[in-house]
Amino acid sequence: MARTVPPRVTSLPAWKALESHHKEIAPRPLRELFSEDPGRAKRMRAEGAGLLLDYSKNRINDRTLELLLELAEGCRLSHHIRTMFEGQHINKTENRAVLHVALRMPKSASLVVDGVDVVKEVHEVLERMERFARKIRDQSWKGATGRSIKNIVNIGIGGSDLGPVMAYEALRFFSDRRLVFRFVSNIDGTDFAEATRDLDPEETLFIVSSKTFTTLETMTNAHTARRWLLEKLKKEESIRHHFVAVSTNAAAVSSFGIDTSNMFGFWDWVGGRYSMDSAIGLSTMIAVGPENFREMLAGFHAMDEHFRNTPFARNLPVLMGLLTVWYANFFKSQTVAVLPYDQYLKRFPAYLQQLTMESNGKHVHLDGSPVDTATGPIYWGEPGTNGQHSFYQLIHQGTHLIPIDFIGFARSKNPLGDHHDILMANLLAQGEALAFGKTADEVRADGVAELQVPHRTFEGNRPSNTILAPELTPGTLGALVALYEHSVFTSGILWGIDSFDQWGVELGKVMAVRIIGEIAGKTPQGKVHDSGTAALLDWYRENRKKD
């Protein structure tokens, strides 16, 4: 099959046009763009899958959008969207389909990939997950000593942890409060020790979540969990009452000692960072119940359909993906801040870091040639309003241009007095202050002493998107995650990179394994390290045994 490598984005006429257009737009303040165009806010918004995206506070005008949309056409974005949804092997370096969209297709749908109806398989697993989740929730699943399960500990890392933790926190309002959920990911023993110190093994279920079932951190934690359990329950036989697995690797699950009838599978076409709606979401389903989990899947699916069917000019993920390219490549912005004004979304920025940065942190095109533009920016953030009292100073008056995604909801799940109005007032105020700033004359008009005027002046022109929805529900969460998944896809297509592999994590893993052997004295240190690392290793070996 001929390889379809998208044309280099920088060679497209729209790219060249954007370069000169950028020179015109960059000096123009948002104040001016708004004052000369009263219809701007109404025009520069789009809705889909229950989300509203207001992108009017970006440093763009209609011409910018026109050119960005031309760029998307030039990169054959529609074609690439189609190939993903068809299950073609668009993850070239691993020769795999990329089909997280199949995880949320309705049961009535069918998608035959490599001769198999993947939707049918997805629903078979979902139904098994549901039966299991109900047994835990109605307490009919018993531990080895006949006690019901009260504690659920998910052991996993990366995509096998961040999605489950984020979703548990985001949907905590909907969770069964009789159950305790813990998440162990770090190889640091402290993570396991603190997560289990107050748990009774007789009432604890471990979900070992690992696509490969070979990840060092997860397998080490899983073996520790096994020992922790057997210390009290003694009999090997008890393992099958207290361990289930989520994996694509049945052989490894079985050799760990987990009964494969207690294994929930998924497929190589689900990337780790795209897997929170697969069986990797088992802890989420136990927490919020199968009905809420299905509602979350429906939210994902609604955004998938929006992405697939909506003209690009009104397509939320496409617009966000194009704006990411606009700032990263033309304004040379290096980061994006994601600022959810909702405490339940406190882990959402951390989740997005893997989704965005493992996907688009790439240095070569699909054909292996070096990229000729910056690729994925650094994502970071904290929930509002906490960030306001921490790092917002730099966003307002520092020297870096940091595009922002604000996320907020019309209604709170915990309406306490006027808390929610104050919260939302802050979201709106920050967007406005960042965009429009405060001129020196306005500062003077407040009677501020001349010495302080420069310090109290706000340049403004700091761009932001505002993403709003009526409430944070399972469906909204699904739509929100899919929005970012597809916006990452859009930017990745423009950059011509493989957004679905992650070779960059391999080298460190291999080197860690070698050093583990050296610490244990199993392999000679020799001259394998640079002098700096060798000295640090010597220091560690000398000091690790001392009090």
Tallying the residues shown for the chain, one arrives at: 547
Among 67, 157, 350, 407, binds ligand F6P (CB under 6 A): 157
Calpha distance 502→516 (Å, rounded): 23
How many other C-beta atoms are found inside a 10 Å radius of the C-beta of residue 114?
A: 9
Under the binding rule (CB under 6 A), the answer on residue 407 touching ligand F6P is no
Q: Does 91 bind ligand F6P (CB under 6 A)?
A: no
CB nearer to ligand F6P: pick between 100 and 462: 100
Residue 158 near ligand F6P by CB under 6 A:
yes
Residues binding ligand F6P: number (CB under 6 A): 14
Is 16 one of the annotated active-site residues of the chain?
no
112-113 vs 116-117, strand pairing mode: antiparallel
| Structure-token pair, residue 215 | 């990840």
Q: Which listed residue (182, 226, 242, 273) binds ligand F6P by CB under 6 A?
A: 273
Cα four-point dihedral sign 458, 460, 465, 470: positive
Closest residue to ligand F6P, Cβ-based? Answer: 272
Shortest distance, position 282 Cβ to ligand F6P, whole Å: 13
In the complex, least distance from residue 476 CB atom to ligand F6P, rounded to whole angstroms: 24
Distances (CA, A) of 473 to 68, 129, 197, 409, 469: 32, 21, 32, 10, 9
Residue type, 540: Y
Positive or negative CA dihedral for 244, 249, 250, 254?
Answer: negative
| Segment lying near ligand F6P (by CB under 6 A), choices 97-105, 157-165, 220-228, 519-527 | 157-165
User: Cβ(211)–Cβ(160) under 8 Å?
Assistant: yes
Q: Rule CB under 6 A: say whether 289 interacts with ligand F6P.
A: no
* Cis preceding-peptide flag for 385 (omega within 30 of 0): yes
**Active-site hit among 42, 231, 389, 545:** 389
Check residue 163 for interaction with ligand F6P (CB under 6 A). Answer: no
- The residue with tokens 């060249």 is 16
Confirm whether 202 is a catalytic residue. Answer: no
Here the tokens at position 50 are: 């229950």
What's the angle, vertex CA 314, arms to CA 313 and CA 316, rounded to 5? Answer: 110
**For residues 288 and 477, is the Cβ–Cβ distance under 8 A?**
no
Q: Are 432 and 30 in contact (CB under 8 A)?
A: no
The least distance separating ligand F6P from the CB of residue 160, rounded to whole angstroms, comes to 4
Active site residue 389: yes
Strand, coil or helix: what is 176? Answer: coil
- Only one of the segments 67-75, 153-161, 167-175, 220-228 lies at the binding site for ligand F6P (rule: CB under 6 A); that segment is 153-161
Candidate list 151, 154, 160, 465; residue touching ligand F6P; CB under 6 A: 160
Structure tokens at 477: 């969460």
Closest CB 351 distance from ligand F6P, rounded Å: 11
CB of 516 to ligand F6P, least distance (A): 16
Interface mask (CB under 6 A) for ligand F6P, residues 200-229, using x and -? ----------xxx--x--x-----------
Interacting residue with ligand F6P among 193, 428, 505, 528 (CB under 6 A): 505
Least Å distance between CB 369 and ligand F6P?
24
Q: Point out the residues that are catalytic.
A: 358, 389, 509
User: Where do contacts with ligand F6P occur on this chain (CB under 6 A)?
Assistant: 157-160, 210-212, 215, 218, 272-273, 358, 502, 505
